[in-house]
Amino acid sequence: MTIRRVLILVPTLLILLLLQSYLWVPTYEQQTRGNPDRLNEYIAASIGDASILNPVLSADSASSDINSMVFEGLIDRDEDLRFRGRLATSWEIYEEAFFYVNEGATIPGMGRAWAQNVAALIRRAKAGAFPANHELKASLDNIRGISVVPAGEFLVTKYEKEKVSDKEPAKVKVRVSAPARIKLVLNSVDQDLFENLSHILGKEYFSGFNGQDYLTVDDERWQSKRAAYADEILPATEHNPIVVFHLRPNVKFHDGHVFDSKDVKFTLKRS
């Protein structure tokens, strides 16, 4: 009889204990109730202590595990592998593309043209003034802004070693008289943009641009590298995909510092 009462009483007491815990154990939505510091405290078991709390510099598994719980990324993926916001509430992706005006090229139906004429030609093509295939039309429709970047002069310093054994590299000053170039703002990234624009400007318009004509090297020993310098300093075309993140407001670090764009820049520069 005593055993029967114990078998009935013990489960009953256990059920009552679990039921009353519902009244005081905070839920996830109310986790700060009774202890506001709960959001600033992290308890985790690992194989060892974290050597550094910096997601950029951490290399061992213990540090990486703890960093993954302390630090958030801008975005990640959900269970369906779709991007979702974390520290970023939303984001926009577009592109700024540039190309130098090839003053020596002959444009079909126009001949040689300056920057303003090239920009006007692309605007007319976008407006439907010329017949265009599907690929070209898609690229033109994707353009939302056309402008001219004026010509300019600037100085670039390169460092070259004359011999492998040289301790101090030689300073090579490259003077650049860059021609005007066209800036195109696109709604989305278009890797085939310049290939499609060649149907308007000519097949050799981009490949025929010779950046060496606009470079002057002050040291005769490095004249042979003008072509390499030109490819690096004055590329005929340039793609610049841009991602704009809109950050979640009022997110704080453990020390109370409010998370902002400077923190994103700091992390990306050291990645």
List the one residue out of 147, 144, 146 whose CA is nearest residue 92: 144
* Residue 166 confidence (pLDDT): 64
The whole-chain average pLDDT of the chain stands at: 86
Q: Show the tokens assigned to 84.
A: 């979702």
The average pLDDT across 6-23 equals 81
* Residue 14 confidence (pLDDT): 85
Q: Between 11 and 199, where is the model more confident?
A: 199
The average pLDDT across 62-91 equals 84
C-beta of residue 217 within 8 angstroms of C-beta of residue 236: no
pLDDT one-digit tens code per residue, 25-72: 777 667 777 677 777 766 667 777 777 777 777 778 878 877 777 777
pLDDT at residue 227 tops 90: no
- Could you give phi then psi for residue 184, rounded to 5 degrees? -120, 125
* Residue 165 confidence (pLDDT): 59
Q: Between 164 and 54, where is the model more confident?
A: 54
Q: Give per-residue burial for 83-110: e unless 16+ CB within 10 Å, then b.
A: eebebbeeeeebbebebbbbeebebeee
C-beta of residue 119 within 8 angstroms of C-beta of residue 128: no
* Residue 130 confidence (pLDDT): 83
Cα 248 to Cα 261: distance, rounded to the nearest angstrom = 10
Confidence band (pLDDT; 50, 70, 90) for 163? low
Q: How far is CA 85 from CA 71, 124, 181, in A?
A: 14, 40, 36
Segments of the chain assigned E as strands: 75-77, 83-85, 88-100, 143-149, 152-160, 170-178, 181-186, 215-217, 237-247
Q: Which of 144-153, 190-199, 258-267 bottoms out in mean pLDDT, i.e. has the lowest?
A: 258-267
pTM for the whole thing? 0.72
C-beta of residue 94 within 8 angstroms of C-beta of residue 240: no
* Residue 4 confidence (pLDDT): 79
* Residue 256 confidence (pLDDT): 83
C-beta of residue 199 within 8 angstroms of C-beta of residue 132: yes
Count of all residues that appear for the chain in the document: 271
* Residue 164 confidence (pLDDT): 55
Provide the residue type at 89 as one letter.
T
Q: Between 159 and 246, where is the model more confident?
A: 246
Greatest Cα pair distance, the chain, in angstroms, is: 110
- Per domain, the residue ranges of the chain are 1-41, 94-244
